[in-house]
């Protein structure tokens, strides 16, 4: 059994060649921060594929989660049946709680991303650092450090500055904006669940595969009753499903959960704020959605906030 907090990146070279580099010995703090940043970059692409797909929110979320769990099992030959049999009650609680929150986050995120602009969606869904200190203290008794709070204040000021020029609230988008805010709360709960239960698993795969499977089944059940049956991707939807499965799910969320064994909830949510930088730049290329000029000073403030928030870890 690998050491807690380490990835067991064993499997076919075609799947683990590049990812295997992340398992080499390094400073735990530096590696955790790097994995967290890399996961956030991959997660930031999700809004793009969600907008391009025509699948219902529930079925799109179900496909990405079920395919992600299947790909990880095949690539790393994970003995799922044995893993489920040896799991104790607390481990099942972690899978069910984390999977349920992830399922809600994904479904609400699709609804929100399609009901408002790219900047609105990524901005609103990443405001979790504002509520995370309170939630972390209430549910984990985990207090944010002074540097994390200062970094959060700077990063949130960048978000507020961006909101003045790029956030567009209107009667046409209020429902989508509301879904994004609810999705943000579910994301915060999902991060807290990862902080509480992730370290119990021997490797990140032993935590995320049952988690993705649970969330995928829940989304599929909701989709079946909402749509009156199974919705099958057609045409270009297969490509969007593949991209949203591989990039933000298999890579993004898996790396996020690996980092959660070592970084605090506040640091994880603080890094998440930077998603709007990557998705905003990609939206220029894919959709021709150019951000307002205020995007650039906002980006600088957010990057500065993250740097201040992790300064103690960087020194260590």
Task: Give the global pTM.
Answer: 0.82
Residue among 284, 295, 279 at smallest CA distance from 161: 295
Per-range mean pLDDT, top range of 28-32, 69-73, 90-94, 146-150: 69-73
Which tens digit of pLDDT belongs to each residue from 169-193? 556 667 888 888 899 999 999 999 9
- The Cα 93–Cα 193 span in angstroms is 10
- What average pLDDT does this structure show over 31-37? 91
Name the burial class of residue 82, with classes exposed (0-12), middle (13-18) and buried (19+) by CB atoms within 10 angstroms of its CB: exposed
Could you report the per-residue pLDDT of 251-295, keeping only the tens digit for each? 999 999 999 988 899 999 999 888 878 877 887 877 777 777 777
126-153 pLDDT, tens digit per residue, is 788 989 999 999 999 888 888 899 999 9
Using alpha carbons, select from 218, 217, 180 the residue that is nearest to residue 47.
180
Q: Nearest-CA neighbor of 290 among 62, 88, 117?
A: 117
Q: What is the radius of gyration, based on Cα positions, of the chain?
A: 19
Range list of H helices, the chain: 13-16, 28-43, 46-52, 57-76, 80-86, 89-115, 118-125, 128-140, 146-166, 174-197, 204-227, 237-244, 254-259, 265-272, 275-287, 295-309, 311-315
Give percent of the chain with pLDDT exceeding 90: 45
Mean pLDDT of the chain: 83
> Residues near 139 by Cβ (< 8 Å), separated by ≥ 6?
192, 196
C-alpha to C-alpha distance for 264 and 29, rounded to whole angstroms: 11
């Amino acid at each position: 059994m690998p050491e807690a907090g380490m990835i067991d990146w064993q499997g076919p070279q075609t799947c683990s060649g590049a990812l295997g580099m992340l398992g080499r010995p390094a400073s735990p703090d530096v590696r955790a921060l790097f994995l967290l940043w890399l996961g956030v970059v991959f997660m930031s692409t999700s809004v793009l594929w969600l907008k391009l797909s025509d699948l219902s929110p529930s079925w799109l979320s179900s496909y990405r989660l079920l395919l992600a769990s299947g790909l990880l099992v095949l690539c790393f030959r994970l003995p799922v049946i044995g893993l489920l049999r040896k799991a104790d009650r607390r481990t099942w609680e972690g899978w069910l709680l984390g999977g349920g929150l992830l399922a809600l986050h994904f479904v609400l995120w699709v609804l929100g991303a399609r009901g408002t602009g790219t900047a609105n969606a990524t901005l609103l869904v990443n405001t979790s650092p504002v509520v995370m200190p309170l939630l972390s203290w209430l549910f984990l008794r985990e207090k944010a450090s002074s540097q994390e709070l200062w970094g959060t204040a700077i990063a949130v000021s960048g978000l507020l500055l961006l909101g003045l020029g790029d956030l567009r609230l209107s009667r046409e988008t209020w429902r989508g904006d509301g879904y994004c805010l609810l999705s943000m709360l579910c994301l915060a709960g999902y991060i807290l669940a990862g902080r509480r239960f992730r370290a119990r698993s021997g490797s990140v795969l032993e935590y995320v595969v049952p988690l993705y499977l649970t969330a995928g089944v829940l989304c599929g059940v909701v989709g079946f009753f909402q749509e009156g049956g199974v919705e099958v991707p057609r045409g270009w939807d297969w490509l969007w499903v593949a991209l949203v499965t591989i990039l933000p799910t298999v890579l993004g969320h898996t790396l996020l959960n690996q980092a959660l064994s070592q970084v605090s909830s506040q640091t994880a949510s603080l890094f998440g704020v930077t998603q709007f930088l990557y998705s905003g730049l990609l939206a220029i290329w894919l959709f021709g959605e150019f951000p307002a000029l205020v995007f650039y000073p906002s980006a600088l403030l957010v990057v500065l906030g993250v740097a201040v928030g992790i300064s103690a870890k960087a020194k260590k």
